[in-house]
Amino acid sequence: MNSYNYKDYGFQNEAESHMHARFMPHVLALTGDLKPGTRVLDVGCGNGYTCGEFIKRGCQVTGIDLSEQGVSIARHTYPEGRFELFGADDQLLANLDEEPFDMVVSTEVVEHLYAQREFMRECFMALKPGGRFICTTPYHGYLKNLALSIAGKWDSHASPLWDGGHIKLWSRMTLSRLLNEAGLQNIQFRGAGRFPYLWMTMVMSGDKPNAPHAPTK
């Protein structure tokens, strides 16, 4: 996630998105037993709503995003957190002046990225050994894609006229491969919203091995 041709989302307030109600219960379920003081990094934090859910649970939270409006809103709404205006590049931890985190989360971001492997590499490096990565992205599987085709909904569902919109459509298989390539293990999947196999979005997690592991380039 870098600044190349970035199109600001245009956050107007601190409210949750229409997707949070679908994916947030699954995100929190995949965190396991959150302990007070757990250090969490939110990559693509937007207006900070997801960060706020972790702050409520006693976590030490850092959020990064390229949206000036989003970061400004997050700083105002969640003064207990830390919010910075930059993306996930190879200097992420150095820029933050932080040690690797217990958990890295990224919600509804990877579908907007050209360089998804670079993004995953930096998320992996930002995790401490044994840490967990959790991400969400709109679900695309055979039955959902078929239903969209039969209904003639592709132009509205994945409109090429949306500046900064969805440029990658992920299935469980392709997102699992991305996480595995990065070096994550114990991949878990949850479908969220609507009906099974027609899910609105999906939530996946993976764990960084305790032993040193070089991610696939």
DSSP 78-128: -TTSEEES----TTHHHHHT-PPEEEEEEES-GGG-S-HHHHHHHHHHTEE
* pLDDT at residue 38 in the model: 97
* pLDDT at residue 181 in the model: 97
Domains and their CATH numbers in the chain:
20-207 (3.40.50.150)
Cα 26 to its chain centre, rounded Å, is 13
* pLDDT at residue 5 in the model: 56
DSSP 162: S
pLDDT values of the chain reduced to their tens digit, one per residue, 217 residues: 554 455 666 788 888 888 899 999 999 999 988 999 999 999 999 999 999 999 999 999 999 999 999 999 999 999 999 999 988 777 889 889 999 999 999 999 998 888 899 999 999 999 999 999 999 999 999 999 899 899 998 888 888 877 777 789 999 999 999 999 999 999 999 999 989 999 999 999 999 999 765 555 5
Cα distance between residue 65 and residue 54, in whole Å: 17
